């Protein structure tokens, strides 16, 4: 009986740890996230969201594939330099009723010398959702002079890298 209780305790701890890394209940209502616009206007300029969502299947420690990772690109539609006053600090990736919510761990400002109109943000440590699933991606955009907004990219496919 003690052996069974020990296994049950270990299972409960694993489930608790997994739920902390991949919360099921987002900090904002799901309906609000799904209602986020595909374009936001800040200080007379329009911005959209591009994404690359993936799991890494390179040989090594990740047998069965890595956890979900997301690179998002806030894009100035006019192609001009991305403004310093605009940032993003939160991401929600929505797969049906399941939501992965995270803060960004990395940033490139600008994305590269050929992408001066984009801000790149990166999050990792998500769930192991199936490659090929279509997800909605929402980010919180912040601007010094304009507060916060939600911005969404729809029907984004989870990719695999090898």
Residue 87's CB: how many other CB atoms inside 10 A?
A: 19
Please tell me what DSSP assigns to residue 35. Answer: T
**Distance in angstroms (rounded) separating the CA atoms of residues 17 and 99:** 16
pLDDT, position 14: 39
pLDDT, position 21: 47
Domains, the chain, ordered by start:
24-161 (2.60.40)
pLDDT, position 111: 84
Q: What is the pLDDT along the chain (162 residues), one digit of tens a residue?
A: 555 444 444 433 333 344 344 545 899 999 999 999 999 999 999 999 999 999 999 877 666 899 999 999 999 999 999 999 999 999 999 999 999 999 999 888 888 899 999 999 999 999 999 999 999 999 999 999 889 999 999 999 999 998
Q: Is 31 exposed, middle or buried (0-12, 13-18, 19+ CB in 10 A)?
A: exposed
CA distance from start to end of the chain? 45
Q: Name the maximum alpha-carbon separation found in the chain.
A: 67
DSSP letters, 39-96, are -EEETTEEEEEEEEEEEE--SSS-TT----EEEEEEEETT-SPPPTTEEEEEEEEEET
């Amino acid at each position: 009986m003690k052996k069974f209780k020990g296994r049950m305790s270990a299972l409960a701890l694993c489930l608790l740890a997994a739920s902390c890394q991949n919360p099921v209940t987002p900090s904002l209502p799901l309906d609000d996230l799904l209602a986020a616009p595909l374009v936001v206007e800040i200080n007379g300029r329009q911005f959209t969201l591009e994404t690359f969502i993936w799991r890494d299947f390179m040989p090594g420690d990740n047998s069965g594939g890595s956890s979900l990772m997301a690179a998002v690109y806030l894009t100035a539609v006019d192609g001009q330099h991305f403004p310093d006053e605009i940032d993003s600090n939160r991401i929600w990736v929505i797969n049906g009723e399941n939501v992965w919510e995270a803060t960004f761990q990395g940033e490139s400002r600008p994305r590269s010398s050929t992408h001066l109109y984009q801000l790149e943000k990166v999050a990792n440590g998500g769930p192991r959702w199936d490659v090929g699933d279509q997800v909605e991606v929402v980010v919180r955009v912040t601007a010094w002079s304009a507060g916060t907004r939600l911005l969404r990219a729809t029907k984004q496919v989870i990719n695999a890298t090898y």
